[in-house]
Amino acid sequence: MKIYNTLSREKEEFIPLMEDKVRIYACGVTVYDYCHIGHARSAIVFDVIRRYLKHKGFHVTYIRNFTDIDDKIINRANQEGITWDTVAGKYTDEYYRDMDRLGVGRADAEPKATEYIQEMIDIVKGLVEKGFAYEADGSVYFSVDTFSGYGKLSKRDPEEMIAGARVEVDERKKNPLDFALWKKSKEGEPFWESPWGLGRPGWHIECSAMSLKHLGESFDIHGGGADLLFPHHENEIAQSEAFTGKPFARFWIHNGFITIDKEKMSKSLGNFFTIREVLDTFDPEVIRLFLLSTHYRSPIEFSDEQLHESETSIDRYYSTIMRINDFLEKDYNVKNDFSNSGKIFKDLLFSFRDRFGEAMDDDFNTALALGHIFEIIREANRFLDHKPSGTKDRELLLLTKELLSEAGSVLNIFDRTPHEWYLSLMKIKKIGLSEQDILEKISERQDARQKKDWGSADAIRKELEEKGIILEDKKDRTDWKIKVG
RNA sequence: GGCGGCGUACCCAAGUGGCAAGGGAGAGGUCUGCAAAACCUUUAUGCAGCGGUUCAAAUCCGCUCGCCGCCUCCA
């Protein structure tokens, strides 16, 4: 399998450092506010990467951290007149609420920066002793000049960066690119004791400390949003490799941004939607499908229209499952051969696992994988149109369900029954009726239909349709669905 | 200014040397009491533009145009 490695800017064959074990560290969030849909993308991308590697049989250790001490948290606490750890605690809880709803699994460990203060201090101390860092006025800085590989991830030349005017000038730094490993705490700020006095950790050092602790000096995959590439990940490499003398992460994976009007969604631009806002109008599965229908490295333009299309796609899956279920419920005559259309469908179905795997093996190409999934859905419908019959045909449709659900489990979609899907839509779309109400209307309409009173029957259907409920007449009954798109 | 990415149909989107996936929208049709769903047909001799390399280019190279990102906190 191939993974695009930011370090080489190429797709590389992925071979874990330890036989069948894969160790992944992904940068999580700073818990100072509700998460927006961009955070959801990153979380879902790495969730799928982890699920797929497991699916392939790797033993995966996945670590995702929380930054729970930081300027933004402190500012927020000051604004609201509460303590910094109350802020961090609150938004950690909110983060879990959003992620649970989105079907993002918990990592194997979810360390918080403040639980690793001692480990961070040990690394900083080591870096000072080895001459990679220096103390200045109670703070400790990493000396970029001492680390020859500085810039290898972001492909930047330190000399040229200094020329760029946007690097903040700090008198205490030997080189403007030097970054804080340990920050002296100001009056009223949270602090921990250290060999350099009272202070708190710099931002980058936490990931070095926590990955070292949980995954060791060298591990397989380090990931995060593309905006972390520089300076965060560049600095992590410098600190970690200077400290251990060993290569840090083998593969660097960066997910692309979500855009609004082609511009990056971000807190500072104010053009963001929180996860919970989007969850108000769309089912979590719809959001997952939307985010996975574009390759993880490409930007995704956030739009209502696209979300509606994803909703239609998910509905297409559940409608097809309903059709298959209807077919499987029926009596069948025992016949052991495939029908003609069965033979054609069989070939496509039997090759599905390979094609799905091929797509995912190619740098987690979920968009292509979904293409294969929807091809199966189309062909299954076509097969059903051709009046399948007999045991062999039945088996094909059972296999269809199995394959779709297996592929879905990697993406963590398709895990409900059609009925559950429609009940969820009923809530989200605020249909004013209960299922009981709908069933009563249906039965009322059935009576009218028996009497061939088409006028009344159509009136009931129209009435329901105006409320967002679609009726589907079948041979022996009428099913209801929620209108999508 | 430095570095990087992107531009594929009406819309979204895969495709990195060999017949342009998949979905949505539109139009027409089959099925149906009528619908819905589903299926079928239809929509790029064409991949921002112009050159070049090659038997062969969306794909490789060069230039041009347009959009975006990073270089400061960011998923």
Say whether both A110 and A224 belong to one domain. yes
Tell me whether residue A293 is in a domain. no
Say whether both A52 and A165 belong to one domain. yes
Q: Which two tokens stand for residue A408?
A: 């879905």
pLDDT band at A406 (very low <50, low <70, confident <90, very high): very high
Q: How far from chain centre, in Å, is Cα A275?
A: 12
CA distances from A243 to A141, A182, A238, A471, A478 (A): 14, 15, 8, 66, 68
Q: Are A27 and A232 in contact (CB under 8 A)?
A: yes
CB under 8 Å to A328, separation ≥6 — which residues?
A394, A397, A398
Q: Are A40 and A292 in contact (CB under 8 A)?
A: no
Q: What are phi and psi of A69, to 5 degrees?
A: -145, 130
**pLDDT tens track for A123-141:** 999 999 999 999 999 999 9
Q: Report strand pairing: A199-201 vs A219-225.
A: unpaired
- Average pLDDT over chain A reads 94
pLDDT at A163: 62
Neighbours of A332 (CB within 10 A): 14
Which CATH number covers residue A272?
Answer: 3.40.50.620
Say whether both A188 and A257 belong to one domain. yes
- Contact between the CB of A323 and strand B at under 7 Å: yes
CA distances from A160 to A86, A177, A232 (A): 42, 11, 18
Q: Which two tokens stand for residue A271?
A: 């053009």
Q: Facing residues of A249 across strands?
A: A219
Say whether both A411 and A436 belong to one domain. no
Say whether both A313 and A399 belong to one domain. yes
pLDDT at A162: 72
User: Is the pLDDT assigned to residue A367 strictly greater than 90?
Assistant: yes
- Contact between the CB of A295 and strand B at under 7 Å: yes
Tell me whether residue A425 is in a domain. no
- Contact between the CB of A313 and strand B at under 7 Å: yes
pLDDT at A172: 83
pLDDT at A340: 81
Boundary-marking domain end, from A400, A420, A440: A420
pLDDT at A448: 95
Tell me whether residue A92 is in a domain. yes
Helices and strands, number each (H, E), in chain A:
17, 15
Query: Which protein residue has its CA closest to C1' of B14?
Result: A368
pLDDT band at A165 (very low <50, low <70, confident <90, very high): low
- Contact between the CB of A400 and strand B at under 7 Å: no
Tell me whether residue A291 is in a domain. no
DSSP string for A117-164: HHHHHHHHHHHHHTTSEEEETTEEEE-GGG-TTTTTTTT--HHHHHHS
d(C-alpha A200, C-alpha A28), whole Å: 19
pLDDT at A168: 56
Closest of A458, A477, A480 to residue A469, by C-alpha: A480
Closest of A357, A384, A356, A354 to residue A371, by C-alpha: A356
Number of domains in chain A: 3
Say whether both A311 and A273 belong to one domain. no
Closest of A65, A1, A80 to residue A33, by C-alpha: A80
Tell me whether residue A218 is in a domain. yes
Give A154: exposed, middle or buried? Use CB within 10 Å, 0-12, 13-18, 19+: middle
Tell me whether residue A26 is in a domain. yes
Say whether both A120 and A236 belong to one domain. yes
Task: Read off the pLDDT of each residue in A338-355 and give the average, rounded to a whole number.
Answer: 90
Q: Which two tokens stand for residue A217?
A: 């000096």
**pLDDT tens track for A427-461:** 999 999 999 999 999 999 999 999 999 999 999 99
The residue behind tokens 């290569």 is: A247
**pLDDT tens track for A49-92:** 999 999 999 999 999 999 999 999 999 999 999 999 999 999 99
- Contact between the CB of A404 and strand B at under 7 Å: no
Q: Which nucleotide is nearest to A296 (CA to C1')?
A: B75
Say whether both A328 and A260 belong to one domain. no
Boundary-marking domain end, from A281, A312, A340: A281
Residues 407-466 of A with CB under 7 A from strand B: 449, 454, 457-458, 461
Say whether both A271 and A352 belong to one domain. no
pLDDT at A440: 97
Say whether both A381 and A445 belong to one domain. no
Give A472: exposed, middle or buried? Use CB within 10 Å, 0-12, 13-18, 19+: exposed
Interatomic distance A48 CA / B46 C1' (Å): 35
Neighbours of A475 (CB within 10 A): 6
Boundary-marking domain end, from A373, A392, A420: A420
Closest of A159, A151, A164, A162 to residue A230, by C-alpha: A151
Say whether both A439 and A310 belong to one domain. no
Task: State which residues form the domain around A403.
Answer: 304-420
Tell me whether residue A297 is in a domain. no
**Is the alpha carbon torsion for A42, A356, A108, A59 positive or negative?**
negative
pLDDT at A232: 95
Closest of A41, A459, A9, A72 to residue A287, by C-alpha: A41
- Contact between the CB of A227 and strand B at under 7 Å: yes
Neighbours of A347 (CB within 10 A): 8
**The complex's ipTM?**
0.96
Which CATH number covers residue A397?
Answer: 1.20.120.640
H or E segment to which residue A232 belongs:
none
Residues 42-71 of A with CB under 7 A from strand B: 42, 67
pLDDT at A167: 54
Tell me whether residue A398 is in a domain. yes
Say whether both A330 and A265 belong to one domain. no
Give A197: exposed, middle or buried? Use CB within 10 Å, 0-12, 13-18, 19+: middle
